[in-house]
Structure 1
């Protein structure tokens, strides 16, 4: 079975094709163009370069959030449209899980952190086993509260994600020698991780019809907050 993975929840656009035990093709770009411009040409390229093509796909996996509201919508609509045309099922993969996935089995807790703005991060905490097991989250939380949670767990932790650059010094100050940091190449979720996690999900009977797939925003968008405040005030 071959699975197309699509990642668009962060500033990086990434796509990949995974098969049994192998990544056949992968593309990743961080530039000023929007995901709506980048994704379709990248998908076309990996399908051609892998030799799988559209008709060879068995399913499509896409980043399900949390992350950029706009990026998630673009990735979801792209995955759902392509799946609808090809008659395939789709599966949403947690952006936090795909960030943690390459760090499984490192002998420490894994803590992906994405910049959620408003002085918060999107985060989860995973255990230190070969197979990821989420212990905390997903949630939007202030970095200080995250440090408290990690101190309660009481073991070394490795951080990864686009929130690392902003809060690295804070985590070092709060956790001391317990804090470690992934290489910069792992601070953005990979299309290959989304594809591999999707392949595992499909093997376990996962996947839904395109119309049934929904993103995991964790918290409402700014537009929704403004609308709720306006309407609650009016009522």
Structure 2
């Protein structure tokens, strides 16, 4: 089954095609551009590019997998709206996966690992994964110092992700080079059982974890003559 994978929870705008079979998940094509200000401009052309690379059409897709975040409001919304719209138009299910799982799950190698992405405002989105790649804490948003303290309490021995690299001195843990951003093959693997069983699609509820910067006015402004 040919599956489209999208993630826009980080500055890395990602579209990929994977093949899901009874034996596993195989990467077929991928486009990734790191640009925190161009999610809306980049994602659709990248979807077209990965389809063209394998000679496929949107109608060939059996499902869509999308990263649910956590991530900044504007960028994350692009991926979720794209996934939901395509799923509705094509009549295929869309499955959501925590984007941090696409970093922490493939990085785990027998010992607990901290996965972190940049949340701006000098904060990180973070989660902790055990040696088997299962999430045991998070996702949450905190200052790097708070996340580091929680990670130490859970016996974490390494850190991974762009947020971990950005605040390496604060975390004071060995850094894993990859994955720096959510890995689309890992996201698909985490949804593979749902895909194989043709489970109903998810509601694609975003993991914002905090309010957007823009807020509605709470009082009317006086009108001067």
TM range (shorter): 0.7 to 0.9
TM-score, L = length of structure 2: 0.86
Name which of 207, 213, 222 aligns with 1:216: 207
Contact 2:64–2:93 (CA under 8 A) maintained in structure 1: yes
Taking the aligned partners of 2:200 and 2:117, their CA distance within structure 1 comes to 25
8 Å CA contact retained: 2:116, 2:163: yes
Other structure's SS at 1:79 match = helix
TM-score for both structures, normalised by structure 1: 0.83
Contact 2:103 2:181 in 1 (8 A): yes
Aligned to 2:176: 182
Using the TM superposition, give the Cα deviation of residue 8 of structure 1 relative to its aligned residue in structure 2, in angstroms: 0.8
Distance in structure 1 (CA, Å) of the matches to 2:162 and 2:9: 11
Is 1:108 paired with 2:105?
no
- Contact conserved, 1:3 with 1:57, CA < 8 A, in 2? yes
Determine if the alignment matches structure 1 residue 124 to structure 2 residue 111: no
Once the 2 structures are TM-superposed, how far is the Cα of residue 213 of structure 1 from its aligned partner? Answer: 2.3
With over 3 angstroms needed to count, the CA separation of the structure-2 counterparts of 1:36 and 1:117, relative to structure 1, is: closer
Moved over 6 A (4+): none
Cα gap change, 1:207 to 1:219, in 2 (>3 Å): farther
Give 1:134 deviation, angstroms. 1.2
Q: Partners of 1:171 and 1:67 in 2: how far apart?
A: 20
| Cα offset, 1:76, TM superposition | 0.9
Whether the 8 Å CA contact 2:9–2:68 is kept in 1: the answer is yes
SS of 1:186 mapped into structure 2:
coil
Residue 219 to residue 204, structure 1, CA distance change in 2 (3 Å): farther
Q: Deviations over 1:116-149 (max 9, x none)?
A: 23332111101012xx211111111222222222
* CA root-mean-square deviation: 2.4
Render the CA deviation track for 1:21-68: whole Å, top value 9, x for unaligned: 311111111247612111111111212222342122111011111012
Residue 207 and residue 47 in structure 1: after superposition, are their counterparts in 2 closer, same or farther (change >3 A)?
farther
Query: 8 Å contact 1:9–1:65 — kept in the other structure?
Result: yes
- 1:51-70, aligned counterparts within 5 Å? 51-70=55-74
Partner SS for 1:220 = coil
If asked which structure has higher relative contact order (CA below 8 Å, sep 6+), I would say: 1
5+ residue gaps, structure 2, are 220-225
Distance 1:82 1:126, change over 3 A: same
Q: Distance in 2 between matches of 1:84 and 1:17?
A: 18
Summarize deviations over 1:99-124 as a string: whole Å, max 9, x none. 113213x1221211112233321111
Cα contact 1:2–1:199 (8 A) shared by 2: no
Distance 1:187 1:155, change over 3 A: closer
- How has the CA–CA distance of structure 1 residues 205 and 220 changed in structure 2, closer, same or farther, with 3 Å as cutoff? farther
